[in-house]
Amino acid sequence: MTIRVFVVDDHPLFRAGVRLATQDVEDIEVVGEADSAEEAVRAVVHERIGVDVVLMDVQMPGVSGVSAAAAIVAAPPPGAEAPRVLMMSVSDDDDLVVAALRAGAHGYLVKGAPRAELLGALRTVAQRSAVFGPTVAARMSGYFSAVHETSGRAAFPQLTEREREILSLIARGYPNRRIARELVLAEKTVRNHVSHVFAKLQVEDRASAVVRARDAGLGV
């Protein structure tokens, strides 16, 4: 399946760079672009251009990329899921990252990331997982370490200790296979626990669970 990408950035050179990075990649295709958040919302939400991932600059003149991400995520096409949003910025400022996650973004990379990292992030986000560049992940770890783990217990009293432990590992970006290795569990058992966590938190995917968990101080 080809991942259809829509690029949103006010710098033409950046958009051209993304096109160049993806032009020989069989499973990724740039199907459209916009130079403003307003244009992106119009194309993706109102004109319903079919895309899987929106690669969005965080800070642009006028409406911010964060606001556009929220609008896109909140307005899925009838009978379908909303496109996934991968944010990019020259800044890895903690507040920007948190704002992007709260808006419903499914990943955050710092501009200038290697081509392989960008392509990997697009694939990961398209597969309903969350992704953060190494620099962002390191900063977020420090940011959330300031929040005591007991807040996670207070926020999720409906979870068992094992479920809370698994949620914490999900928030670190661990896939089920690695969680199984870390906790010495069968991968099927981990999948069952993950399903229970999603149901209890009333979330549909890992990205949403990551946001909830990190807001509560888990995943450090």
| Per-residue model confidence (pLDDT) at position 84 | 93
| Per-residue model confidence (pLDDT) at position 42 | 94
> How many beta carbons lie within 10 A of that of residue 38, not counting itself?
15
Cβ(193)–Cβ(163) below 8 Å? yes
**Domains assigned to the chain:** 3-142 (3.40.50.2300), 147-215 (1.10.10.10)
| Per-residue model confidence (pLDDT) at position 147 | 46
pLDDT digits (tens, 9 = 90+) for 130-162: 887 665 555 554 544 444 444 445 567 888 888
Q: Which of 168, 161, 156 is nearest to 199 (CA)?
A: 156
| Per-residue model confidence (pLDDT) at position 150 | 47
Provide DSSP, 7-19: EE-S-HHHHHHHH
Residue ranges in the chain assigned as alpha helix (H): 12-22, 37-41, 65-73, 94-102, 115-126, 134-144, 150-155, 161-171, 176-183, 187-201, 206-215
> Given its phi and psi angles, is residue 98 left (phi above 0), alpha (psi -120 to 50 degrees) or beta?
alpha
pTM of the model: 0.64
State the 10-residue block means of pLDDT for the chain, 220 residues long.
Answer: 95 95 94 95 92 93 88 86 90 75 85 91 90 62 48 68 88 88 90 91 85 74
| Per-residue model confidence (pLDDT) at position 154 | 56
| Per-residue model confidence (pLDDT) at position 148 | 44
pLDDT digits (tens, 9 = 90+) for 192-216: 999 999 988 888 888 888 888 877 7
